[in-house]
Chain A
Amino acid sequence: MNPLLAQFLAEANDLLAQVDEGLLQLERDPGDPELVNEVFRAAHTFKGSSGLFDFPELTRLTHAAEDLLDAVRGGRLALDSGMTDDLLASFDLIRGWLAHVTTHERLPSGAGSDAAGLITRLRAPLGGEAAPSAPSAAGPAVLVDTAPDWLAYLDAEWLTETAGWLSTTGSTLRFLWYTPDTDCFFRAEDPLHLIRQLPALDRLSVVQPGTWPAVQEYDEYTCMLSFLVVTRASLGELNHLFRYVTDQIEIVELDADAITRHLSGEPPLRAEEVMTVAVTPVIDTEMAADARSVLHAAHRALTMDGVVTEGTRIRSVRHAVAAAARSLGVPVDLGAAGPAELLTAIDLLAGEAAPAPVAIAPVPAAPPRAEERVESRADDPGGQVGTRVLKVDQEKVDRLMELVGELNVAKNGLTFLAASAEEEFGSRALSRRIKDQYAGLHRIAEELQSAVMDVRMLPLSVAFSRFPRLVRDLSRRLGKNIELVTEGGDTMADKDVIEALGDPLVHLVRNSLDHGIETPDERSLRGKSHTARLTLTAVADGDAVIVEVSDDGRGVDPDRVKHKAYEKGLISEEELETLSDVDAVDLVFRPGFSTADQVSDLSGRGVGMDAVRASVEKLGGAVTMRSKLGQGTSTRLRLPLSMAVTQVMVVSVAGQRFGIPVDLVVETVKVPAGGMGRVLHQDVVMMRGEVVPVIDLARALDMPWSLPETADRPILVVSVNGQRVGLLVEQFHREVDVILKPMEGLLAYADEFSGTALLGDGLVLLVLNMKEVLGLAARVA
């Protein structure tokens, strides 16, 4: 992709987010002029940049949106929610387009028709008229000296105004004359439709025939009209639009001079004038046109009311005039010319190009250059001004993270080296020195790691940012009044965590909106305020971040949940009687459970909270729900700040080592062989008055191994879903920090492992997914 487009796409992302956010805030606070201004500016900047590319539909749609915003900014319109909807829809469409542009580098094929409806809707509050200004895609066009005779169909006053304005702006206008064939209707041509599609229309004049035929001869199936169109659309756009009727159109581009000449009824450029221009050396016509623009500008600057014509201003005008004169091939010496002299020079230059250098100033005094240069500041190589924020490709940061991981592994290798120095070579001193070296390296590696992780940190507000819009749209569809409050948006977490958090959060918020929060009528019936409150909170808690979604809706009814779970066969009759309210609420996380009596298109599809729990646990987090009937529900997600580094406890079974996330580990115990008990078919161990089931890890993993009858039983106690389970293992090892890599290829289906990690001694460690392993154990038993 060309770098300009890449830059545009990156910038567009930010700008569109600003527009979205601003619009939503505006809806709440429509009177805030600062907000309107911000949104307008973002839209405006976006439009300006989009004009650099050949995306006419994009520019047109943004332009319509910008015009609407401009009207709001100018106080000519009050923003209502209908307009906000249209604006949001427009920017949504644009976002979709940009996604297409990212991969295809052009707009999708249906862009024009997709935009047409929105443009009409955006323009409707403005009276439906096309914008007075639209950027022209700078395309080559033929500048014509002679105004065609059909220009007379435009009124003189408008032409005068246009000529004056053309001369000062350097804009270009295209004049198009379209005389459809008289029998065009029989060839499925629709002139009116064509004209309607014309972008950036400034002026339209429908010209009737000079004399209409007599009534009895008049044929209504004959087209007798001509169209005169003034537009700022590029030549390319015009040619494309009229590609089937090229023989019926005439396009000219006129500059201010040609229009003025037309107005004054003068003939086109006299032969000798053309000569003069032709004689002057090293000039191309475009350069001359630019020079004329500069001269016009200088003229305007000198004659306008209230313009300071001294000091730097007059000097800069002098520079500009001299530069223009030079490129016209008529160098002038302006010396210290004042405004009057400059005007004379401009008239001379713009009128009849003088054959010889024009001396204007009476005193061609030596230019006071030295003096000026004394005051000039030393060139500052550090004067480069720009943004101080570095935008880095995510892949580069990821690569850096990988390298840090590899450094950690290499670093851990030193501890093995130290061990072998002592054991194999018998040098305790060497071992100690290696350990010292390791300590230093460890410190630096840790700092490096936290520095890189810091780069990857994003505020939670990134994950929250989509919710104002989502809540707004959904609550309108559901007819509920909901106030969304976000707290702790500045809490930081790793970008992977933030990204992975998106879907679970959407699920939870949708659930709240759909099931949790009551309709306004129901709320007032229960004596609650009409407007419900949905809160998104984030707080940092050590190495974890806690994100909570809470509402003040109807809450979860534990009895109803229990019965539902019973009906679905998720719990036994006994559990139906004995389950506590807290445990009952937790049932909603069971696979296949859905409290919605009807499946709604918003959330309930049977895959609900269990999907949330699964994805949060995949992140190494936990999810819990608390609910008070009639008062609201709060779902709490606890996630690691970073997923990059995982601490695992290494254990071995049947000679093979496995990792178990340290988060899950409660304690390690050695139980004498006789201390084990048995309840039904389950091995158990009594720990502080609690019966803890013990699972033989080797059996669960189908590995042939058993401990000697009399040996102590090493048991690792883990807590999964709030339940304590003992794992019978062969031996405990150390805790290590590892970079967890997901299983790939065929092994990706091995659910009992959550990934692999490389140990310092080069061994690949399989890290267990405890939940799956316990499931396996249950099946084996």
Chain B
Amino acid sequence: MTSDTATGARVLVVDDAATVRLYHTTLLGGAGFAVNEAANGLEAVEAALGTDFDLFVVDVNMPKMNGYACVEALRSDTVGSDAPVVMISTEDRPGDADRAYQAGANLYLVKPVAGDRLVRVATMLTAGKDDVA
């Protein structure tokens, strides 16, 4: 994959709300990303075990396995992903972002995220991925 375009980068959208998933996948898919979906943390981890994603967009509040646990699992030895993780949540109290970073997320955004912003961030985070080992 060329490093100066986001087209084709693989993104996993993790959210229990089907509407939010559709919103995110439509936006990212429209921008040229190859988007997969997962409805909770557990599904996300399973998906990450099978596919090397270039970016994760993860919700916080989910059944079965919440976003924090999910990101921790992604960063664990089992999955071992160092791809950027953007957490998107409705929780925007001070401290929530820190929990996300503690888990291993690289950016914390508050819902709803404007469409152009999500695409911009995703493009930014996936464009540089091949520069660093």
Contacts and interface: CB of A to CB of B under 8 A. Distances in A.
Interface string A169-186: 111000000000000000
A11 B97 CA distance: 28
Given A41-B61, A164-B94, A386 B50 contact: no
A103 interface: no
Given A133-B91, A316-B82, A386-B38, A326 B51 contact: no
A315 B129 CA distance: 10
Interface string A438-461: 000000000000000000000000
Interface stretch (A299-307, A393-401, A656-664): A299-307
A58 to B, nearest CB: 13
Q: Which of B22, B90, B91, B130 has most chain A Cβ within 10 Å?
A: B90
B110 A287 contact: no
Interface in B10-68: 10, 16-20, 22-23, 26, 36-39, 43-44, 46-47, 49-52, 59, 61, 63
Contacts of B26: 3-4
Contacts of B90: 44, 47-48, 51, 133, 135
Given A306-B102, A367-B133, A383-B50, A138 B128 contact: no
A385 B43 CA distance: 7
Q: Which of A10, A164, A327, A375 has most chain B Cβ within 10 Å?
A: A327
B17 A297 contact: no
B107 A45 contact: no
A513 interface: no
A681 interface: no
A630 interface: no
A135 B39 contact: no
Interface in B59-97: 59, 61, 63, 74-77, 80-85, 90-94, 96-97
Interface in A329-386: 331, 333-336, 367-369, 372, 375-377, 379-380, 382-386
Interface in B111-125: 111-114, 116-117, 120-121, 124-125
Given A52-B112, A383-B47, A319 B83 contact: yes
A297 B77 CA distance: 23
B50 to A, nearest CB: 4
Contact of A319 (B46, B77, B96, B106): B106
A320 B84 contact: yes
A609 to B, nearest CB: 43
B99 to A, nearest CB: 10
A375 to B, nearest CB: 7
A605 B94 CA distance: 58
Interface residues of A, number: 78
A41 B40 CA distance: 13
Nearest to B96: A169
A157 interface: no
B125 A319 contact: yes
A49 interface: yes
Contact of A169 (B47, B76, B108): B108
A168 interface: yes
Contacts of A542: none
Interface string A269-292: 000000000000000001100110
A383 B51 contact: yes
A556 B39 CA distance: 53
A304 to B, nearest CB: 6
A207 to B, nearest CB: 26
A168 B107 CA distance: 8
A292 to B, nearest CB: 11
Q: Which of A139, A300, A319, A333 has most chain B Cβ within 10 Å?
A: A319
Contacts of B51: 377, 379-380, 383
Contact of A327 (B74, B75, B110, B124): B124
Interface string A31-49: 0000000000100111111
Contacts of B96: 169
Contacts of A65: none
A178 to B, nearest CB: 24
Nearest to B93: A133
A255 B131 CA distance: 30
Contact of B101 (A3, A300, A387): A300
Contacts of B97: 165, 168-169, 297, 300
Given A318-B132, A320-B125, A312 B107 contact: no
Contacts of A168: 97-98, 101, 108
A386 B50 CA distance: 14
Q: Which of A48, A168, A170, A298 has most chain B Cβ within 10 Å?
A: A48
Nearest to B82: A315
Contacts of B18: 7, 10-11, 387
B98 to A, nearest CB: 6
B17 A324 contact: no
B50 A380 contact: yes
B94 A45 contact: no
Contact of B117 (A8, A165, A290, A313): A290
Contacts of A3: 22, 26
Contacts of B112: 48, 51-52, 135, 137-138
Contacts of A51: 90, 111-112
Given A326-B128, A327-B124, A11 B19 contact: yes
A312 B127 contact: no
Top 8 A-B residue pairs of the complex, sorted by shortest distance between their CB atoms: A367-B133, A323-B128, A138-B114, A315-B82, A301-B101, A49-B19, A320-B106, A380-B50
Interface of A: 3-4, 7-8, 10-11, 41, 44-49, 51-52, 132-133, 135-139, 161, 164-165, 168-171, 286-287, 290-291, 293-294, 297-298, 300-301, 304, 306-308, 311-313, 315-320, 322-327, 331, 333-336, 367-369, 372, 375-377, 379-380, 382-387
Given A323-B125, A324-B124, 20 more contacts: A4-B19, A4-B26, A48-B112, A52-B112, A161-B94, A170-B109, A290-B117, A297-B107, A301-B106, A311-B80, A316-B75, A323-B129, A336-B133, A367-B132, A384-B36, A385-B43, A385-B44, A386-B37, A386-B39, A386-B43
Interface of B: 10, 16-20, 22-23, 26, 36-39, 43-44, 46-47, 49-52, 59, 61, 63, 74-77, 80-85, 90-94, 96-98, 101-102, 104-114, 116-117, 120-121, 124-133
21 contacts: A47-B90, A133-B93, A136-B110, A138-B117, A168-B97, A169-B108, A170-B108, A171-B110, A290-B124, A294-B107, A301-B106, A313-B82, A316-B82, A319-B125, A320-B107, A335-B132, A368-B133, A377-B52, A379-B10, A385-B44, A386-B38
